[in-house]
Amino acid sequence: MTLTLSDGPLAADPPASVNYTVDGPAHKILFANFPRRVRATFADEVVLDTTRGRLLHESNLLPVLYVPTEDVRQALLQATDHSTHCPFKGDASYWSVVVGDRTADDAVWGYPEPNGDAGWLAGYMAFYWDRMDAWFDEDEQVHGHLRDPYHRIDTRRSSRRVVVRRGDEVLAESSRPIVVSETGLPNRFYLPVADVRTDLLTSSTSQSHCPYKGWATYWSLRDGTADVAWSYEEPFTDAAQTAGHLCFSGDDVVTEVDGQVVDS
């Protein structure tokens, strides 16, 4: 993510405060090795198993895993008539994954004859992540997408004064936040539950998954304003300090840090 989004060197609008230039088109592509074994399953069958996966980093896009065709069970694939065109990579062909009476339509794509500038894509396939039943990074199941080796999270205890408001109403106020700095995103301020007006909140049925922080549960205002805050009840190691803390965001709330409104 750090390479392709925000002010990363492969972003379409990288920072000007550098002493070098990156030659080439505004839309840049980098094909880099992924360092661990990856597997995907569908209908209890292993569809791919590779230690030779590569991440395609592409300007303004999240990285995508490509694997050698030899590491995909070709007997489970059926070619389809679907095709798409990318001006940077070429014409993509598609395959469905078929196991018994289950089919994942057009779940796999590849570039049999990629553009000259992306010739290294020949012999590789990519998958729509959500069309497989499960993915494993080594022996740990992962959700959403693989971790990008260039993406990181820092969590730091702070004494900065953070106030969260909705209009004139204070929802939370704390001088002991956890500051989460995550590649390509603004700082997020996680506040201890004891410093939050939990009497104004009610638990939401919404959930989301972050490959770097874990499963998030959400909180809504009792007046019906949905999902104004979230928390990680069992955060991953990199975000362990956020346990027992809530973070607020959205159009309906404003976060002030030391009296200054920050992006939320």
Mean pLDDT of 175-189: 94
Residues 77 and 120 in one domain: yes
Evaluate if residue 258 carries a pLDDT over 60: yes
* pLDDT given for residue 155 in this prediction: 97
Residue 75 has a CB neighbour count (10 Å cut-off) of: 8
Tens digits of residue pLDDT in 70-129 = 999 999 999 999 999 999 999 999 999 999 999 999 999 999 999 988 999 999 999 999
Mean pLDDT of 151-178: 96
Residues 132 and 45 in one domain: yes
Average pLDDT over the chain reads: 93
Residues 111 and 44 in one domain: yes
61 vs 207: which has the higher pLDDT: 207
Evaluate if residue 1 carries a pLDDT over 60: no
Maximum separation of any 2 CA atoms in the chain, in Å: 62
Among positive and negative, which fits the CA dihedral 77, 79, 84, 89? positive
Q: Is residue 24 part of a domain?
A: no
Q: Is residue 7 part of a domain?
A: no
Evaluate if residue 11 carries a pLDDT over 80: no
Residues 42 and 138 in one domain: yes
Burial 205-241 (b: 16+ CB within 10 A, else e): eeeeebebbbebbbbbbeeeeebbbbbbeebbebbee
Residue span of the structural domain in which 138 resides: 29-142
Among positive and negative, which fits the CA dihedral 8, 14, 15, 16? positive
Question: Which of 93, 120, 142 is a domain's end point?
Answer: 142
Cα separation, 115 vs 127, in Å, equals 20
Cα separation, 166 vs 151, in Å, equals 32
Mean pLDDT of 204-208: 96
Evaluate if residue 21 carries a pLDDT over 80: no
Residues 116 and 53 in one domain: yes
Residues 180 and 258 in one domain: yes
**Residue reference for tokens 């939050």:** 196
Residues 87 and 33 in one domain: yes
Residues 81 and 179 in one domain: no
Q: Which residues fall within 8 angstroms of residue 220, CB to CB, at 6 or more apart?
A: 201, 202, 203, 204, 226, 227, 228
Cα separation, 202 vs 222, in Å, equals 6
251 burial via Cβ count (<10 Å: 0-12, 13-18, 19+):
exposed
* pLDDT given for residue 212 in this prediction: 93
Q: Which residues fall within 8 angstroms of residue 196, CB to CB, at 6 or more apart?
A: 171, 172, 229, 246
Residues 89 and 183 in one domain: no
Cα separation, 238 vs 250, in Å, equals 24
Evaluate if residue 17 carries a pLDDT over 90: no
29 burial via Cβ count (<10 Å: 0-12, 13-18, 19+):
buried
* pLDDT given for residue 235 in this prediction: 96
Q: What is the CATH number of the domain that holds 185?
A: 2.170.150.40
Burial 145-159 (b: 16+ CB within 10 A, else e): bbbbebbebebeebe
* pLDDT given for residue 16 in this prediction: 79
**What global pTM score does this model have?**
0.84
Cα separation, 262 vs 254, in Å, equals 8
3-state DSSP: the chain helix, strand, coil percent, rounded to 5? 10, 50, 40
Query: How many domains, the chain?
Result: 2
* pLDDT given for residue 177 in this prediction: 98
Residues 168 and 253 in one domain: yes
Evaluate if residue 232 carries a pLDDT over 80: yes
Residues 161 and 59 in one domain: no
